[in-house]
Copies of this chain bind each other. A is one copy, B any other.
Amino acid sequence: MSSSQFDDFSKKCKKILENQLRICIDELQAPSILKESMLYSLEAGGKRIRPLLLFATLHAFNKDPNLGLLPAIAIEMVNTYSLIHDDLPSMDNDDLRRGKPTNHKVFGDANAILAGDALLSYSFQLIAEASEQSISLEAKVSLIQLLANSSGAEGMVGGQVADMIGEEKNLSLEELEYIHVHKTGKMLTCSVLAGAILADASEEQMEYLQQFSHHLGLAFQIRDDLLDVVGDENLIGKPIGSDVGNHKTTYPSLLGMDRTKQVLSEQINFAKEALKKTGANTILLEEITDLVATRNN
């Protein structure tokens, strides 16, 4: 697949996703300020890497990506809620995200907390309410279990708490990995495995996809750490060098730049090897992997 073919796939998926996001919020019978606040952050854009991973996994098993539309929306809502809460004054206290004022800057702290809460509940509702023709009862329950586990205390929220505990502390490589595997990795893995559940992948294939997304998640975070040292502020949308300023433990601070780049390339290789073992048509997932390794924002 040429890179322009991947671009087409990515653009088409994003368009369908963003259109459906608006419809989902529009349908809600709720106070309009709440709906505006939910939609504001859902529309703030971003790479939509989680939905793309889900769609690309369905593609790998020759399934129609549309089958995964509502689960992809659910995952994007969970990701968005976590960003809204992360940006709050009592958490990271960020005024800008992707160059736009953060949710609480526009709607106030209380509305931001509640918009996040509503997005989390809605994500489970959307999966539960999908038509049984598109998602079987068994798949719905598996998807909900996966999403709840990946987003909660044993997943993303647990990673966020560990990250807060680790701030201003010197972390070991093991502690740093725990944070990343949970804070970022679990929801990336959730996106891939959600696609695999919908595609009826075998247990063995699930296992390889789990390995793939584990390495992809680490690569994603290592690239993030590298960008904080050598990135372009205008592309990243936040000042570079903030990790050093905040005394955060990162891959470069633990391993140095050369070894960090080497580890990134190792993780990318591990990810691609795991993909090959699935025996599926994983060309889009490989493209996403390359994107993660080389991204500039």
Contact B31 A152 (CB under 8 A): no
Chain A contact residues (Cβ within 8 angstroms of B): what range? 35 or more
- From A8-16, A32-40, A211-219, A226-234, the one touching the partner chain is A32-40
Which of B34, B120, B165 lies in contact with A158, CB distance below 8 A? B34
Q: Are B111 and A85 in contact (CB under 8 A)?
A: no
Q: Which residues of the other chain, B, contact A120 by a CB distance below 8 angstroms? A: 117, 120-121
A28-B137 in contact (CB<8A): no
With A30-B161, A141-B141, A161-B31 already in contact, the answer to whether A151 and B111 are too (CB < 8 A) is: no
Q: Please, what's the 1-or-0 string for A108-134, where 1 marks a CB less than 8 Å from any CB in chain B?
A: 111101101110111011001100000
A153 and B30 contact, CB distance less than 8 A: yes
Q: Does A2 interact with chain B (Cβ within 8 Å)? A: no
Q: Is A144 an interface residue (CB 8 A)?
A: yes
What are the residues of chain B within 8 A of A108 when measuring CB–CB? Answer: 90
B residues within 8 A CB of A103? none
Overall SS of chain A's interface: helix
Contact of A240 with B by CB under 8 A: no
Contact of A122 among B118, B141, B148 (CB under 8 A): B148
Query: Do the beta carbons of A38 and B110 come within 8 Å of each other?
Result: no
Identify the A interface with B (CB < 8 A): 28-31, 33-35, 38, 81-82, 85, 88-91, 108-111, 113-114, 116-118, 120-122, 124-125, 128-129, 137-138, 140-142, 144-145, 147-149, 151-155, 157-158, 160-162, 164-165
Interface CB pairs A-B, < 8 A, 30? A28-B153, A29-B158, A30-B153, A30-B154, A30-B158, A31-B161, A33-B165, A34-B157, A81-B117, A82-B117, A90-B109, A111-B161, A111-B164, A114-B157, A114-B160, A117-B120, A117-B152, A117-B157, A118-B152, A118-B157, A118-B158, A121-B148, A124-B124, A124-B148, A125-B148, A125-B149, A125-B152, A128-B145, A128-B148, A137-B137
